[in-house]
Structure 1
Amino acid sequence: MGRLSTLQWPVVRQLRTGDRTGRGVAATSPTTRDLQPRTTTADRVVQSVCPYCAVGCGQQVYVKDEKVVQIEGDPDSPISRGRLCPKGSASEQLVNAPGRQYEVLYRKPRGTQWERLDRDSAIEMIAQRFVQSRRNRWQERDDEGRILRRTMGIASLGGATLDNEENYLIKKLFTAAGAIQIENQARI
């Protein structure tokens, strides 16, 4: 990096440009002037809803070359009016995180290593275990003969990274399966 000429000193720039407060053109470097927001270079903008909680804040997702480059609050949203909480503001990291998993990993009981499992096998394994747990702990009636039709072998603990519709459907699924221990961070 070369030496800074005296003409480039901030005080001299202030006097030369007439920027008395030093908060305008005198304070900006050529690099700063050339910067552009990622939103101006996006190919398209997609409206979405923040996935973190049940509030449903509107988001504008900026996409360039089929990759999410920025996520901001949607000013047209009647719920959030363009604002996002810290988690919603950082939701671009949910999509583009370098540690994001794109395959199913499975560790056998008492195993020490994770192994890759194809999606269909994983879904089949989960379904079999779900049905077996339901069957093993099914309660048709209580000790006095009253109808219960419930299972104590299944519980659901949901999170707000799913949207409201997905959480609603999961709640309905577990209720239909007879589960009574259903809890969610988003409190459907």
Structure 2
Amino acid sequence: MGVKRWLDAWPVFRQLTGTDPLGRGKAAQSARSAGLGSRTESADRVAGSVCPYCAVGCAQRVFVKDEKVVQIEGDPASPISRGRLCPKGSASKQLVTGPQREQRVLYRPPYGTAWQELDLDTAMDMVADRVLDARRKGWQDTDEDGKVLRRTMGLASLGGATLDNEENYLIKKLFTALGALQIENQARI
């Protein structure tokens, strides 16, 4: 490597001899970083979404390439978050694309030591049977004074912060219709 080429590769030399005396632009940029591009510029399309974590409702821009999510950022057009996301919202790409995300239904039977894979229809039927059974066993039609209650103490709901507002609304409606009283969300606790 010649002296001139070595000097050009040295950021301090580029800073002192170039048009970037403060070293905040091209002078500080390496050849490798000059060739890099953002994940968003190669995206095929951008879909609008809402952050799934809390009830604030920050808007997100989901960048998709080859039908796979490549980046999720805050939407600057949002009057709520103005393009900003909290640390959980910024990491929501992991929720969608993380390798640890299960893509199948797993079930561990009572006293079982291993997980079994179930098809979705079987799992949904098991959940429905158990919900109806718990509702029936905990049902209180009236209290000891004959006052009408029409509630169940056999069900409760604790929503998670990964559910969006619409899902939490539907869960609240469902559990209220089932007669449950204990309906709470992690975001309020």
Q: Distance in 1 between matches of 2:59 and 2:15?
A: 42
**Length, aligned pairs only:** 184
- Contact 2:11 2:29 survives alignment (8 Å): no
- Contact 2:137 2:154 survives alignment (8 Å): yes
Where 1:112 maps in the other structure, the secondary structure is coil
TM-aligned CA deviation for residue 18 of structure 1: 4.2
Q: Distance in 2 between matches of 1:118 and 1:35?
A: 44
Q: Residue in 2 aligned with 1:169?
A: 170
Q: Residue in 2 aligned with 1:47?
A: 48
- Give the counterpart letter for 2:185 in structure 1: N
Where 2:96 maps in the other structure, the secondary structure is helix
Q: Distance in 1 between matches of 2:135 and 2:8?
A: 79
Q: TM-score w.r.t. structure 2 length? A: 0.93
Post-superposition Cα deviations, 1:45-74, rounded to whole Å, max 9, x if no partner, equal 000000000110000000000000000011
- Give the counterpart letter for 1:122 in structure 2: A
- Give the counterpart letter for 1:100 in structure 2: R
Q: Distance in 2 between matches of 1:97 and 1:25?
A: 35
Runs of 4 or more, structure 1, over 4 Å off, are none
Q: Does 1:179 align with 2:154?
A: no
Q: Residue in 2 aligned with 1:30?
A: 31
Output the aligned Cα RMSD: 1.3
Q: Does 1:148 align with 2:161?
A: no
Q: Residue in 1 aligned with 2:119?
A: 118
- Give the counterpart letter for 1:5 in structure 2: W
Q: Residue in 2 aligned with 1:14?
A: 15
TM-aligned CA deviation for residue 7 of structure 1: 4.2
Where 1:181 maps in the other structure, the secondary structure is strand
Q: Distance in 1 between matches of 2:18 and 2:73?
A: 35
Post-superposition Cα deviations, 1:6-33, rounded to whole Å, max 9, x if no partner, equal 4422332233324322232221111111
- 1:83/1:11 Cα in 2 relative to 1: closer, same or farther (>3 Å)? closer
- Contact 2:55 2:164 survives alignment (8 Å): yes
Q: TM-score w.r.t. structure 1 length? A: 0.93
Q: Which structure 2 residues correspond to residues 56-95 of structure 1 after superposition, within 5 A?
A: 56-95=57-96
